[in-house]
C-alpha cells in the first residue's frame, strides 16, 4: 500500500495549502455524545449539501444538511497560530446513539471536495479499549494558513512554535488519517472490536482518562506528546493496564496543550540534534530524563524509504533489504497461528517497516538481538522481530555503532514486549506503517494484531457483553 498511499504525504506539494480559502474545521475536534458541535466553513459555491459519515469498515452516512448557503470567509494572516475565526455555518447536538469513533463531514466547493474530521467520545467509557488519535501530530504537520512546526514547509521557511486546531486540515490527507490511521480503524471495526476514541489533548484535560480501560492503543504516527500523556501511560501500566503500540516515531517530541486544547506549543521541535554541554536545549523525550525509554521501551527512531534532501532519493528504500520484519523469537504467543519460523519475514508486500520505525541499543547474543540497557531501555523487554533500517546519525546514542553482524544495516526497527516488569504489559510494534499490513485480512500482520488485542481483553466476549 505504500506507493498508493504514503507518498501523498503531508510534506509534499505543501505550498498549495498555504492560502487555502475553502474548507472547514470544527470548534472542537473531540466531542462527547450529547454535546454540541459547530462546523465553520468557507465555501464560494452558491448552495451545497453537507454530509456526515462515521468511518469504519464501511462509510455510514449519519446526517445530512441540505441547501446550505455558500459564503467565502477571510483567512487571517496568522490564522495558523490564532485560528481562522470563521463564523459558524452548522451547529448541532451529537446524538447519544452515535458510536464513539472518527466522523468526517464532506461538502463540495469550486476548488474540490473538502472535509472536516472530528472524534466522538462516549459519555461514559463503554469499551475495554481506548484508542487515542494522534491529533497533535496531525496539527504539527498541518501548514494550512502558512505555517506548522517545520521550517521547510512553512512560509518564509520560518516555522511557528504555536499552532491552532481551528483551521482546516490538508485536503486529501486529513492529517494522517487517510494515509495511515484509516487502515487500522477500519480493520478494528470490521473485526468487531469495541473501541472508545479520544485525541491527545483529552489526556491533558482528564488525568483519569485511562482509569476505566483494560487496554490503551496508539497507532500510526504519534510523534508529538505532552508530559501528561507520558506520565499517564507509565501510571496506567504500573496499575495493571496494557499499553499496545502499533505506531512509529512515537512519543518523540515534547509539546504543550494550551488554551483548553485549542492550541499546541512546541519549544524545541526544530532542534534536530542531541543536546550538548554548549547547547543543552532539546525537545526530544529520549534526552529528557529518558522519558521515552521509560514509557515505551525505545530510544531512537530509524528510517526506511524516508525522504532525503535530493528529490526522488530515499534513505533505505524498500527493497530486498528494507521494509519488513524478520522473526527472532518464533515460540512467543505473538506468532501463534502464523506458521512463521525463526528468520521468516513478514510485511514485505506492504513494506510495513517505515517510513519511520523505532528501536533501542542492542547487541547480538547467541544469534539473537537483546537490548543492552545502555540507553536507559529496560532489559525486561523481549525482542520478537527485527527489521533492518537506517539512521542519519543524529539520534544514535552517543555515536555507538548500530550495525548487524554483516554490516548491512545502520539501525533497526524492533517488535518488542515487556511482560515481566510491571503488573501491566507494554507491546510495541514500533513502526508507522503497521496498519498497511492489515489490508490483507489473513496476513501474519493481521493474525498477530488479533493475538495482541485478544490476549489483553480488548475484545469483549458475548458473555461479558450480556
Q: What pLDDT band is residue 320 in, cutting at 50, 70 and 90? A: confident
- Give 184-226 pLDDT, tens digit per residue: 999 999 999 999 999 999 999 999 999 999 999 999 999 999 9
Q: What are residue 103's DSSP bridge partners?
A: 54, 118
Q: What pLDDT band is residue 377 in, cutting at 50, 70 and 90? A: very high
**Of 259, 107, 189, the residue nearest 197 (C-alpha):** 189
Extract the C-alpha cell encoding 143. 501548514
**Of 283, 10, 7, 5, the residue nearest 143 (C-alpha):** 10
pLDDT at 16: 76
pTM of the model: 0.94
Extract the C-alpha cell encoding 359. 528501536
**Of 393, 315, 397, 399, the residue nearest 354 (C-alpha):** 315
Element of type H or E holding 159: none
- Give 227-255 pLDDT, tens digit per residue: 999 999 999 999 999 999 999 999 999 99
CA geometry: angle at 308 spanning 437 and 247, to 5°? 30
Q: What pLDDT band is residue 9 in, cutting at 50, 70 and 90? A: low
Q: 228 near 207, Cβ under 8 Å? A: yes
Pairing of strands 36-54, 101-109: antiparallel
**Of 383, 348, 377, 339, the residue nearest 361 (C-alpha):** 377
Extract the C-alpha cell encoding 130. 481506548
**63-77, 194-208, 262-276, 443-457: least confident range:** 262-276
CA of residue 97 relative to chain centroid, distance: 27
**Of 76, 111, 99, 86, the residue nearest 26 (C-alpha):** 86
Element of type H or E holding 280: none
**38-42, 390-394, 410-414: least confident range:** 390-394
Q: 360 near 400, Cβ under 8 Å? A: no
**Of 161, 187, 144, the residue nearest 55 (C-alpha):** 187
Please count the other Cβ atoms lying within 10 Å of the Cβ belonging to residue 210: 23
Is residue 407 scored above 60 in pLDDT? Answer: no
Extract the C-alpha cell encoding 454. 485478544
> What is the rounded average pLDDT of the residues 113-136?
97
> What is the rounded average pLDDT of the residues 436-452?
93
**Of 142, 134, 139, the residue nearest 171 (C-alpha):** 142
Alpha-carbon distance 349 to 443, whole Å?
10
pLDDT at 211: 97
In the block, cell 496539527 appears at: 139
Query: Residues 404-407: contacts with CB within 8 Å, 24+ apart?
Result: 405/364
HSE, side-chain direction, 13 A CA sphere, residue 319 = 11
Q: What are residue 244's DSSP bridge partners?
A: 217, 427
pLDDT at 187: 97
pLDDT at 37: 98
Phi, psi of 92 (to 5 degrees): -160, 165
pLDDT at 309: 75
Is residue 6 scored above 60 in pLDDT? Answer: no
pLDDT at 459: 75
> What is the rounded average pLDDT of the residues 422-437?
97
Q: How many residues does the chain have?
A: 466
What percent of the chain has pLDDT above 90? 79
In the block, cell 477571510 appears at: 74
Cis peptide before 355 (omega within 30 of 0): yes
Element of type H or E holding 191: helix 182-191
Q: What pLDDT band is residue 373 in, cutting at 50, 70 and 90? A: very high
Is residue 404 scored above 70 in pLDDT? Answer: no
pLDDT at 13: 55
Q: Does residue 201 sit in helix, strand or coil?
A: helix
Q: Looking at domain 2-21+124-465, does it have CATH number 3.40.50.880? A: yes
pLDDT at 397: 47
pLDDT at 399: 41
For the chain, how big is the Rg over CA atoms in Å?
22
Element of type H or E holding 148: none
pLDDT at 269: 79
pLDDT at 381: 98
Torsion sign (Cα): 246, 249, 254, 257: negative
> What is the rounded average pLDDT of the residues 416-436?
97
Q: What are residue 219's DSSP bridge partners?
A: 246
- Mean pLDDT of all residues in the chain? 91
pLDDT at 148: 94
Q: Say which residues have a Cβ less than 8 Å from residue 464's Cβ, sequence separation at least 6.
A: none
Q: 457 near 128, Cβ under 8 Å? A: yes
Strands (E), 310-352: 314-315, 325-327, 345-346
First vs last Cα of the chain: how many Å apart? 39
pLDDT at 18: 84
**216-230, 331-345, 451-465: least confident range:** 451-465
Q: What pLDDT band is residue 398 in, cutting at 50, 70 and 90? A: very low
> What is the rounded average pLDDT of the residues 372-390?
95
Q: 417 near 371, Cβ under 8 Å? A: no
Q: What pLDDT band is residue 306 in, cutting at 50, 70 and 90? A: confident
Extract the C-alpha cell encoding 229. 500523556
Is residue 441 scored above 90 in pLDDT? Answer: no
Extract the C-alpha cell encoding 457. 481483553
- Give 266-283 pLDDT, tens digit per residue: 998 777 777 888 888 889
Alpha-carbon distance 253 to 285, whole Å?
6
**22-31, 104-113, 298-307: least confident range:** 298-307
**213-222, 310-319, 327-336: least confident range:** 310-319
pLDDT at 462: 40
Q: What pLDDT band is residue 32 in, cutting at 50, 70 and 90? A: very high
Extract the C-alpha cell encoding 342. 525463526
Amino acid at each position: 500500500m505504500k506507493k498508493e498511499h504514503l507518498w501523498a504525504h503531508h510534506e509534499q506539494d505543501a505550498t498549495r495549502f498555504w492560502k487555502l480559502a475553502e474548507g472547514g474545521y470544527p470548534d472542537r475536534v473531540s466531542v462527547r455524545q450529547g454535546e454540541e458541535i459547530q462546523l465553520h466553513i468557507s465555501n464560494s459555491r452558491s448552495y451545497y449539501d453537507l454530509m456526515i459519515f462515521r468511518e469504519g469498515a464501511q462509510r455510514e452516512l449519519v446526517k445530512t444538511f441540505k441547501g446550505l448557503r455558500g459564503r467565502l470567509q477571510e483567512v487571517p494572516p496568522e490564522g495558523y497560530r490564532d485560528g481562522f475565526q470563521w463564523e459558524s455555518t452548522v451547529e448541532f447536538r451529537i446524538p447519544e446513539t452515535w458510536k464513539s469513533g472518527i466522523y468526517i463531514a464532506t461538502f463540495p466547493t469550486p476548488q474540490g471536495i473538502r472535509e472536516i474530521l472530528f472524534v466522538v467520545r462516549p459519555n461514559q467509557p463503554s469499551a475495554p479499549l481506548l484508542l487515542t488519535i494522534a491529533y497533535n501530530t496531525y496539527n504539527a504537520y498541518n501548514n494550512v494558513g502558512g505555517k506548522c512546526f517545520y521550517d521547510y514547509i512553512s512560509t518564509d521557511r520560518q516555522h511557528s512554535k504555536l499552532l491552532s486546531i481551528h483551521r482546516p486540515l490538508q485536503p486529501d490527507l486529513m492529517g494522517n488519517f487517510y494515509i495511515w490511521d484509516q487502515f487500522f480503524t477500519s480493520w478494528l471495526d470490521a473485526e468487531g472490536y469495541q473501541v472508545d476514541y479520544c485525541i491527545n489533548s483529552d489526556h491533558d484535560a482528564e488525568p483519569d482518562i485511562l482509569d476505566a480501560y483494560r487496554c490503551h492503543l496508539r497507532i500510526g504516527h504519534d510523534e508529538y506528546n505532552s508530559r501528561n500523556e507520558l506520565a499517564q501511560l507509565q501510571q496506567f501500566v504500573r496499575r495493571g493496564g496494557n499499553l499496545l503500540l502499533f505506531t512509529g516515531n512515537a512519543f518523540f517530541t515534547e509539546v504543550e496543550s494550551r488554551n483548553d486544547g485549542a492550541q499546541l506549543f512546541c519549544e524545541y521541535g526544530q532542534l534536530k540534534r542531541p543536546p550538548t554541554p554548549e547547547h543543552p536545549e532539546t525537545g526530544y523525550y529520549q534526552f529528557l530524563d529518558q522519558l521515552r525509554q521509560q514509557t515505551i521501551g525505545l530510544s531512537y527512531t530509524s528510517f526506511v524509504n524516508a525522504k532525503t534532501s535530493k528529490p526522488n532519493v530515499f534513505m533505505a528504500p524498500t527493497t530486498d533489504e528494507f521494509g519488513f520484519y524478520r522473526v527472532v523469537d518464533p515460540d512467543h504467543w505473538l506468532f501463534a497461528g502464523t506458521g512463521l519460523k525463526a528468520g521468516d519475514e513478514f510485511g514485505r508486500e506492504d513494506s510495513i517497516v517505515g517510513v519511520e520505525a523505532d528501536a533501542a541499543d542492542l547487541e547480538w547474543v547467541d544469534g539473537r538481538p537483546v537490548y543492552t540497557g545502555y540507553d536507559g531501555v529496560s532489559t525486561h523487554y523481549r525482542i520478537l522481530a527485527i527489521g533492518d533500517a537506517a539512521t542519519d546519525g543524529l539520534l544514535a546514542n552517543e555515536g555507538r555503532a548500530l550495525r548487524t553482524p554483516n554490516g548491512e544495516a545502520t539501525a533497526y526497527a524492533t517488535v518488542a514486549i515487556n511482560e515481566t516488569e510491571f503488573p501491566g504489559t507494554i507491546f510495541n510494534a514500533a513502526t508507522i506503517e503497521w496498519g498497511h499490513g492489515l489490508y490483507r485480512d489473513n496476513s501474519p500482520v493481521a493474525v498477530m494484531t488479533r493475538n495482541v488485542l485478544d490476549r489483553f481483553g480488548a475484545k469483549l466476549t458475548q458473555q461479558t457483553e450480556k
